Amino acid sequence: MAWGFKRIPLILIAVINILIVIKYGTRFIGAYSYMAAGIITVFYILLAGIGVPVLNKLNKYKSGLIIITIFSGMVLCVAVDAIVKPESVLVDRWSAIVNWDVKFLHGEYPYAARTHLGGVVSGLPGLFFITMPFYFAGDVGYFQATTVLLFALCCFLLFKKEKALMAFLLFFLSVGFLWEVYVRSDIGGNSVLVALYLVLIEQMRKNSTGKKMFFAGIIMGILMTTRTVFVIPFVIYLIRWIDFRKKGPVALFLISSVIVFCSFLLPFVAGHFDTFLSNNPFIEQTDKMPVGISILFIGIAIVCGFFTKTIDRALLTSGYLLFTLIGIAFVIKIIKMNFYEAFWANHFDISYFMIALPFLVLSVFNTDYCDFKDFKSRG
């Protein structure tokens, strides 16, 4: 069976990793980070050029080796958490989660929290509730180990075994994800949750009962309260997925989504109304991306939704739009300041490109889609 790459997603994955290794590599290896970026470039060129015949031989791999690979990835994440002290890294995503949780659990307004570097907290409440179990477990970095498992599940629901292994490795071994493991970032993991949700509800598309739609709506409502940018993949996919002829199930889906979304946000508005008006996550997120451009991209997502007939097209289009939206935000910051301030002086967080990475990785290979029956039969 011959199969190949979609080149454009692979190029964008390379761009994300090159930007991250140049930006953050200078903290550890100085100017050698440019050499590392060159090596990464050569790697992706080789992968695009000669990877196909090599990867076509991967069907000899057995399930045992795949399980060992995934388990080793999870162990590596936990080991990094044990070795690297969070206070030692100059990235504060982990402390944004921890300090938000502390204030929330003490009945205080959580968005008054500041990170260990003095930064503001900009994530929506759902992100903190999803990661709170890891806070109680003793280290929010454990979220990355879970991300490894969830992305592996995503791969094996989408691809045959040999493709799934390569998609998993392409994500797990990317510089961007390894950096997130090191600094205990949540961006890539948050995006993996959204991608996995789309893959899972694809399984129930032809049998969307009221009960299933109700629970699917609840989960989407939660995920919508993590980052506003995820409205893009949801819109792209759901335009095709929702069968408006089934009015009852559709109503349950939409109503449960709205109720959950509001339930996660209203307590912070009602309980701290005056404070919320001047200090809330929407202010921080609109500062990163003008509202007009965000609305434009939602409109583009709606149009694209009518032309995405398959799950792999929905993932591919989501990856493109997310990457482009973040790229525009980066360019806007460069125009407002200059490249040095935007890139080197941390006025724009290059790690935001990780939002697009899981969608792009899942789009690299020509999808040989499988349903749950195929998944079970593969063992």
Q: For residue 120, give the 3-state DSSP assignment.
A: strand
Nearest-10 Cα torsion for 249, 255, 258, 261: -80
pLDDT in tens, 137-181: 999 999 999 999 999 999 988 887 777 888 898 999 999 999 999
pLDDT of 50 reads: 65
- What are the phi and psi torsion angles at 365 (to 5°)? -90, 145
Nearest residue to 188 (alpha-carbon basis) of 319, 39, 283, 71: 319
The segments of the chain whose pLDDT lies below 50 read 1-4, 368-379
CA dist., res. 308 & res. 285, Å (int): 28
pLDDT of 61 reads: 60
Contact between 257 and 335 (Cβ < 8 Å)? no
> Cα 176 vs. chain centroid, distance in angstroms?
11
**What are the C-alpha distances in Å from 284 to residues 51, 111, 176, 344, 351?**
42, 11, 23, 20, 16
Instruction: Give the Cβ contact number of residue 182 at 10 Å.
Output: 19
pLDDT in tens, 25-54: 988 888 889 899 999 998 888 877 666 556
CA dist., res. 179 & res. 185, Å (int): 8
Residue whose tokens read 């799934």? 164
Contact between 174 and 13 (Cβ < 8 Å)? yes
The CA angle 355-360-366, to the nearest 5 degrees, is 160
CA dist., res. 195 & res. 374, Å (int): 20
- DSSP-assigned letter for residue 113: -
- Strand-pairing partners, residue 120, are 114
Residue type (1 letter), 216:
A
- DSSP-assigned letter for residue 173: T
CA dist., res. 33 & res. 20, Å (int): 10
pLDDT in tens, 353-376: 999 999 999 998 765 444 434 434
Token couple for 224: 């919508």
Nearest residue to 17 (alpha-carbon basis) of 351, 372, 286: 351
pLDDT of 366 reads: 60
